[in-house]
């Protein structure tokens, strides 16, 4: 977590040791609320020396969209968790003139139907990161956004997504199931099953962007990771809204009760 020279590896090893030996240190893999954020900030202050630069890299949260409860769950992890962690570390980052690297998504540029809270959270990350970058520029802090396209990960595997969609379908009201119909569900699940073939399997495309954002003298503001992000979604985001709506309308599954 520091941008040193040859001593970087030793410093990181010492940091890991300090964290392992500290009985009050619990590095949760998932955002669990304000208490865990505060503990993380205290741990960083204890383990990192004053001459080290800080940077913060937020991974993607989990996706679960159902009604209001599901939306709130996604926003808590993907957006509010990211904001709270970033703000808690901000005094250290500002003091060290460090960097903030937030992982958003190409779906923070183009919102797809059926993605609900996920797209909302990614648009929120984009807006928060833009505001943060403009505010912290006066203090020498650089803020970058990683916008990955579709990559094959354990979280985005077609089997997991299909299972989640089927579970939500079984839990939804009979009225909603009647409006959308079994044909819509079958078409939606078919598209999800093809994700494994469509998604990029080379995650180094994303990690290379992260590395550049953290180590380059002049990092970019935004990194589009993957050919689908570069050649389809990013250009799509600049088209007039009515064209984007028409394209997505004609290429998406239609509910049974659609007009």
Q: Show which residues are catalytic.
A: 118
With a CB cutoff of 8 Å and minimum separation 6, the contacts of 249 are none
Place of tokens 């833009």: 130
The C-alpha atoms of residue 175 and residue 32 are separated, in whole angstroms, by 35
Cβ atoms of 253 and 187 within 8 Å: the answer is yes
The C-alpha atoms of residue 211 and residue 245 are separated, in whole angstroms, by 35
The C-alpha atoms of residue 94 and residue 78 are separated, in whole angstroms, by 23
With a CB cutoff of 8 Å and minimum separation 6, the contacts of 61 are 30, 31, 74, 77, 78, 81, 82, 121
The C-alpha atoms of residue 28 and residue 199 are separated, in whole angstroms, by 28
Beta carbons within 10 angstroms of residue 246's beta carbon: 12
What's the distance, CA 74 to chain centroid? Answer: 11
Place of tokens 């309308």: 249
The C-alpha atoms of residue 243 and residue 1 are separated, in whole angstroms, by 44
The C-alpha atoms of residue 131 and residue 162 are separated, in whole angstroms, by 36
């Amino acid at each position: 977590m520091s941008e040193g020279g040859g001593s970087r590896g030793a410093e990181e090893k010492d940091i890991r040791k300090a964290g392992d030996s500290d009985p009050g240190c619990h590095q949760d893999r998932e955002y669990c609320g304000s208490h865990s954020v505060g503990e993380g900030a205290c741990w960083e202050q204890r383990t990192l020396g004053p001459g080290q630069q800080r940077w913060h890299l937020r991974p993607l949260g989990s996706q679960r969209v159902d009604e209001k409860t599901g939306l709130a769950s996604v926003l808590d992890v993907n957006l509010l968790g990211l904001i709270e962690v970033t703000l808690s570390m901000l005094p250290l980052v500002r003091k060290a003139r460090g960097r903030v690297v937030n992982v958003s998504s190409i779906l923070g540029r183009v919102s797809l139907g059926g993605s609900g809270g996920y797209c909302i959270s990614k648009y929120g990350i984009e807006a928060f990161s833009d505001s943060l970058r403009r505010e912290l520029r006066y203090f020498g802090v650089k803020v970058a956004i990683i916008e990955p396209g579709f990559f094959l990960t354990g979280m985005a595997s077609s089997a997991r997504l299909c299972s989640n969609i089927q579970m939500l379908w079984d839990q939804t009201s009979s009225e909603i199931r009647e409006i959308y119909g079994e044909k819509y569900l079958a078409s939606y699940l078919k598209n999800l099953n093809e994700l494994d073939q469509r998604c990029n399997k080379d995650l180094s495309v994303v990690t290379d962007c992260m590395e550049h954002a953290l180590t380059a003298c002049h990092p970019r503001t935004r990194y589009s990771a993957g050919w689908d992000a570069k050649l389809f979604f990013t250009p799509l985001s600049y088209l007039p809204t009515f064209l984007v709506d028409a394209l997505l309308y004609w290429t998406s599954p239609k509910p049974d009760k659609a007009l």
